């Protein structure tokens, strides 16, 4: 099976030849250069041969068109530093208008998607990262508390801005598919955590705009992975979202497990790797021991082995290689086991048929003679 075949098997209720596996990370120091970012993304996929590709550009691409400014990092382990944000006062929400796609940062990202898609070909699914409109609004202000306050005190201004953000990213998401992506990786970031926002506020300021983006992508044949970040998330809010796969921090005790999530969505789930502990800090041997139980669990439900969020850049590549080898070894063991079983069963049933036929006939003749 190709990588795409494995995902298709999961999506259609069939059994792939092995558990699919995928991982993604940032290349912070390369993400402000389209050429370097394309090279890093393609190189990462070719090295590890993941079963789907999450195109993972700098998060700030969502808000730079509205005036947010960031400084690229010099250290590959550091995130970009924010210099300014466009919404300081409630009245500043009125400045947020629909952005053009033919120029600026969004045009550059579409070109990047096109280049990555051409280099990786059609044998693997490619998902462009797109934040939810509410998440994007959260990056237009200085603090989470400011946006929550504006929702309460100036709800109409915030909703009007969300409409403009949504119109922009509906068009952008559809154009990503036209550029060669197969779908979007739709992330709610911290805004679907009950630690940040009340559930009733998400229903008002999140859900309607989420669905516009998701339905636009699905309407043109694209696929959607829903990613719900953070502890204490409100995953049940999304149970009826028309998405294809779901990813969240299932190892966090404040969230539901992968099995519970599958029962909620009845769609393939992505998880099983706590990217903040064993994958980051463990040695290869400890990593294999930590992930093997997750791999066994994921064989019982339609699932992809993957992290609960982007891998920290400090994760050693040898650990990623160990992860891939674990999946391959598990598949090889299962294949060897299934090959030997059917042969023994066929031989036994064949012998029983040959012996039993004459006996039944003799029994019938004997009964007739007695009569």
The strand pairing partners of 187, in sequence order, are 131, 227
366: pLDDT strictly greater than 80: no
Give the global pTM.
0.89
Whether the predicted pLDDT of 142 surpasses 60: yes
Q: Which domain holds residue 300?
A: 3-320
**Residues 335-341, mean pLDDT to the nearest whole number:** 56
For residue 146, the domain's CATH number is 3.20.20.210
Output the pLDDT for position 354: 47
Interhelix angle 155-178/207-219, nearest 10 degrees: 20
pLDDT higher for 296 or 307?
Answer: 307
Residue 351 lies in a domain: no
Do the domain assignments include residue 134?
Answer: yes
Mean pLDDT of 216-230: 98
Neighbours of 122 (CB within 10 A): 11
Mean pLDDT of 254-271: 97
DSSP per-residue string spanning 17-69: SS--B---B--GGGTTSHHHHHHHHHHHHHHH--SEEEE---GGGGTGGGT-E
Tell me what pLDDT residue 122 has: 97
Q: Is residue 164 part of a domain?
A: yes
Report how far residue 143's alpha carbon sits from residue 61's, in angstroms, rounded to the nearest whole number.
18
- Mean pLDDT, range 209-224, rounded to an integer: 99
The stretch 66-82 carries a mean pLDDT of 96
Range 203-227 average pLDDT: 99
Residue 219 within a domain: yes
pLDDT digits 0-9 by tens, 247-259: 999 999 999 999 9
Q: Would you say residue 26 lies in a domain?
A: yes
**Token digits for 83?**
């210099």
Residue-averaged pLDDT of the chain: 91
**What pLDDT, on the 0 to 100 scale, is given for residue 199?**
98
Percent of the chain with pLDDT over 70: 88
- With respect to residue 112, please indicate whether it lies within any of the assigned structural domains: yes
Q: Residues 276-291: what's their mean pLDDT? A: 75
Is 274 domain-assigned? yes
Checking if the pLDDT of 299 tops 50, the result is yes
Which whole number is the average pLDDT over 48-62? Answer: 99
* DSSP-assigned letter for residue 236: G
* Residue 137 near residue 165, CB atoms below 8 Å: yes
**Which one is predicted more confidently, 360 or 72?**
72
Number of domains in the chain: 1
What CA–CA distance (Å, rounded) separates 136 from 23? Answer: 23
Per-residue pLDDT, 292: 84
At 281, the pLDDT band (50, 70, 90 cuts) reads: low
pLDDT of 341: 55
Q: Answer whether residue 173 is part of any domain.
A: yes
pLDDT of residue 286 exceeding 90 = no
């Amino acid at each position: 099976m190709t990588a795409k075949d494995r995902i298709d098997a999961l999506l259609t209720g069939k059994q792939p030849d092995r558990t699919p596996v995928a991982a993604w990370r940032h290349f912070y120091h390369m993400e402000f250069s389209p050429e370097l970012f394309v090279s890093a993304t393609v190189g990462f996929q070719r090295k590890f041969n993941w079963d789907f590709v999450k195109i993972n550009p700098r998060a700030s691409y969502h808000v730079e068109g509205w005036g947010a400014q960031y400084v690229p990092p010099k250290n590959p382990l550091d995130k970009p530093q924010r210099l300014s944000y466009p919404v300081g006062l409630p009245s500043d929400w009125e400045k947020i208008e629909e952005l053009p796609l033919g120029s600026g940062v969004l045009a550059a990202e579409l070109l990047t998607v096109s280049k990555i898609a051409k280099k990786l070909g059609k044998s693997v699914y490619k998902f462009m990262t797109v934040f939810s409109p509410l998440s994007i609004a959260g990056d237009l202000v200085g603090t989470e508390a400011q946006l929550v306050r504006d929702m309460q005190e100036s709800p109409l201004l915030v909703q009007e801005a969300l409409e403009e953000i949504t119109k922009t990213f509906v068009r952008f998401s559809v154009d990503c598919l036209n550029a060669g992506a197969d779908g979007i990786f739709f992330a709610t970031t911290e805004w679907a955590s009950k630690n940040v926002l009340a559930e009733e506020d998400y229903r008002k300021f999140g859900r309607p705009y989420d669905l516009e983006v998701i339905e636009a992508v699905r309407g043109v044949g694209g696929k959607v992975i829903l990613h719900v970040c953070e502890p204490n998330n409100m995953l049940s809010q999304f149970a009826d979202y028309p998405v294809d796969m779901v990813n969240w921090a299932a190892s966090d005790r404040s969230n539901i497990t992968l099995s519970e999530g599958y029962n909620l969505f009845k769609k393939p789930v992505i998880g099983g790797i706590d990217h903040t502990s064993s994958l980051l800090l463990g040695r290869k041997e400890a990593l294999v021991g930590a992930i093997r139980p997750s791999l066994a669990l994921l064989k019982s439900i339609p699932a992809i082995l993957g992290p609960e969020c982007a891998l920290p850049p400090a994760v050693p590549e040898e650990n990623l290689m160990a992860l891939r080898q674990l999946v391959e070894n598990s598949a090889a063991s299962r294949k060897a086991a299934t090959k030997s079983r059917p042969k023994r069963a066929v031989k036994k049933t064949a012998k029983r048929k040959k012996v039993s036929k004459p006996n039944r006939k003799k029994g019938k003749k004997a009964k007739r003679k007695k009569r």
